Amino acid sequence: MSALVSLSYDGTLLCHLHTALPALDRHGLKGTFYAEPTLLLESVTEWREAQLAGHEIGNGCLFGSTLPDGSLPAWTPQMIVEDVEEADFLLEELFPEQDDHSLGMPWGRDSCADGQSYLAEVSQLFNVVRTGVTGLNPLPRPDCQRLQCVPTADFTGRQLADVAQTAVRNAAWAIFAFEGIGTGDNAIDAAAHDYFLSYLADNQDSVAVLPVIDAAFAASGVGTPPLRLV
């Protein structure tokens, strides 16, 4: 494969359950769903079924607390660590069959109280971190604790496919970051999303489509984090 693509969905929203998951299943593709704990617990049975079907349920506990620019100015790094760890313990309890998972950070700035970056702190918890920084990740050995993504708000299906083609030309890993699918904040049209999945399904000879944690292992051989803060 000359390129990798990961499809990540932020917040475990209802539109992910009702629109994104059925579309992925129709096209035989697997995605990463970054879980916001409160929303996750409202539909935990369905999300367990999704994980058992091969989708990654990642840690996305910070999404509900950020400002529009992605920052968390009312949070200290220690508060963020504690919240991430609490969410991680929940994921381990709810999804015991899932060996490992990645962390998804909000789109935009990774800053918290006093303008500090909290990336160093969360990188002690996870070997695989999808940041909110826009860009592609070089292959064969990306920095899996500082993975860049492609925020997809208002993209057309053709534009999404163009980004995937750019990844092929540059031997890169593109992590697409979706929020609303057909509805909600930062949404793309459901038909555009389906167009893109159809394109990916038809081009798997040149683009491998894997959940973020699986793509990280394929690209760099990263596995379970060596350190868990307690």
Q: Is residue 227 included in any domain, yes or no?
A: no
- For residue 230, pLDDT over 60 is answered with no
Q: Is residue 199 included in any domain, yes or no?
A: yes
- For residue 226, pLDDT over 60 is answered with no
Q: Is residue 10 included in any domain, yes or no?
A: yes
C-alpha to C-alpha distance for 81 and 178, rounded to whole angstroms: 24
The SS3 call for residue 86 is: helix
Amino acid 58: pLDDT: 97
Least confident of 36-40, 111-115, 139-143, 223-227: 223-227
> What's the whole-number average pLDDT of the chain?
93
- For residue 7, pLDDT over 90 is answered with yes
**Domain tally for the chain?**
1
The tokens for 119 are: 């990336």
Domain that holds residue 100: 3-220
C-alpha to C-alpha distance for 128 and 27, rounded to whole angstroms: 26
Q: Is residue 225 included in any domain, yes or no?
A: no
Q: CA dihedral in degrees (54, 176, 115, 123; nearest 10)?
A: 40
CATH of residue 171's domain is: 3.20.20.370
Q: Is residue 230 included in any domain, yes or no?
A: no
- For residue 2, pLDDT over 90 is answered with no
pTM score, two decimals? Answer: 0.93
Find tokens 């999300």 and name the residue. Answer: 47
CB 135 within 8 Å of CB 167: no
pLDDT band at 227 (very low <50, low <70, confident <90, very high): very low
C-alpha to C-alpha distance for 110 and 93, rounded to whole angstroms: 27
Q: Is residue 89 included in any domain, yes or no?
A: yes
Q: Is residue 71 included in any domain, yes or no?
A: yes
C-alpha to C-alpha distance for 55 and 32, rounded to whole angstroms: 6
Q: Is residue 148 included in any domain, yes or no?
A: yes
